[in-house]
């Protein structure tokens, strides 16, 4: 909430152990880990939390992230605790666009492409306009993909 929060740390890629830890935490702790990551990745210029809430069983976050190359990622996740200490992202959208608001890529699980493999997970490609099958994904993995893409080939600049 409030304005853009500037970042200053180093790139903190999520490893498999950290991912397992996030899956076995409470929803409010998951939100804290998201904000920690947003505040520490060096390829991010800042972020603004648009909406956030949690209770013992669920959490929701919506945020806009400014990437150092001028592009941005707007995302939301709705998280539920589905077992003892196990979290599941029920709905999500990660919309990555350039500084002129042109879509680069969007990952989401809106149920509007039922014929795709791995329905409802899919990816919109801004360059080709194609929609392809996706996989369950979270903000940590999306940030890793964007970091690799921005650093390796300048996409999104």
Domain ranges of the chain: 5-153
Q: What is the pLDDT of residues 22-37, one digit of tens each?
A: 556 899 999 999 999 9
Q: State the DSSP H helix or E strand holding residue 18, giving kind and residue range, or none if neither.
A: helix 16-23
Q: What is the pLDDT of residues 78-132, one digit of tens each?
A: 999 987 778 999 999 999 999 999 999 999 999 999 999 999 999 999 999 999 9
Residue 33 DSSP SS3: helix
Angle at 53 between CA 67 and CA 104, to 5 degrees: 25
pTM here is 0.82
- In sequence order, which residues have a C-beta less than 8 Å from that of residue 43 and are 6 or more positions away? 11, 67, 68, 69, 146, 147, 150, 151
């Amino acid at each position: 909430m409030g304005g853009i929060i500037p970042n200053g740390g180093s790139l903190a890629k999520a490893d498999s152990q950290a991912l397992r830890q996030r899956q076995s935490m409470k929803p409010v702790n998951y939100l804290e880990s998201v904000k920690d990551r947003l505040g520490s990745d060096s390829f991010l210029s800042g972020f603004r939390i648009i909406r956030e809430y949690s209770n013992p069983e669920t959490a929701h976050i919506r945020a806009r992230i400014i990437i150092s190359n001028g592009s941005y990622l707007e995302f939301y996740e709705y998280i539920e605790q589905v077992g003892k200490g196990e979290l599941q992202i029920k709905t999500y959208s990660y919309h990555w666009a350039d500084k002129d608001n042109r879509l680069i890529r969007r990952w989401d699980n809106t149920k509007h492409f039922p014929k795709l493999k791995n329905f409802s997970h899919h990816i919109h490609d801004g360059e080709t306009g194609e929609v392809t099958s996706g996989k369950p994904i979270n903000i940590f993995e999306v940030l890793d993909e964007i970091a690799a893409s921005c650093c390796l080939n300048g996409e999104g600049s």
